[in-house]
Amino acid sequence: MQQQQIAVSGLGGQGVLFVTKLLAEAALRKDLSVLVSETHGMAQRGGHVIGHLKVFTYDAHTAPCTTDALISSPLTSPLIRPGCADVLLALHQESLETHGYLLRPDGQVFCHRSPPKAPGDIDAVGLAKKLGNAVAANMVLLGYAVAQGALFCSIEDLTAVLAQTAGTRAALSLKALEAGAQAASEARMD
């Protein structure tokens, strides 16, 4: 059974919720089920924001009566328990201190850090600025993680969702996603 728990962490305004949503839509396209939980309200005013995402195989078609999801679904809580996240996407290095406890001991971290220091680091803001807008740093980080094969989906899955949902900013998001993927392949060559 395929199952992955992903935590996306950053500061208010960095696009944590957008990354989480994009991944959730990608899961739906792959016929996986999803549970998502996100921070709302006060925390978004510059404070830490966390998105919890769980994707899993669950035959929702044969069990359309969702009341029974509680009984038949392999995952039911929208929150990731400490030490249970398979992947942590950190849009700010402070996010590691704040939400690192969610990661399981052998889980993978991808973090924006300028300049990069540890494996999994990428200067996402720097790359996004080169593309014309620092706001796209979230997509750079996502592209970086996806291209390293750390997530349940592929870059093509994400591009397909972006093409449908991102509206006017789709072009920049796509470029940023690809820039992240490119950085990943360069990192592999090093």
Binding site for another protein (CB under 8 A): 11-12, 21, 24-25, 27-28, 33-48, 60-61, 64-67, 69-71, 74-83, 94, 97-99, 101, 134-135
- Residue type for 2, please? Q
Alpha-carbon 37 to chain mean position: 12
CB of 180 to another protein, least distance (A): 19
Q: How far is the CB of 72 from another protein (least distance, A)?
A: 10
User: Residue 12 or 116: which CB sits closer to another protein?
Assistant: 12
Q: Which is nearer to another protein, 31 or 185 (CB)?
A: 31
First and final C-alpha spacing in the chain: 34
Sign of CA dihedral 13, 19, 87, 78: positive
Phi, psi of 2 (to 5 degrees): -85, 135
CB of 137 to another protein, least distance (A): 10
In angstroms, what is the minimal distance from the CB of 96 to another protein? 9
* Residue closer to another protein (CB basis): 2 or 66: 66
Nearer to another protein, 60 or 187 (CB): 60
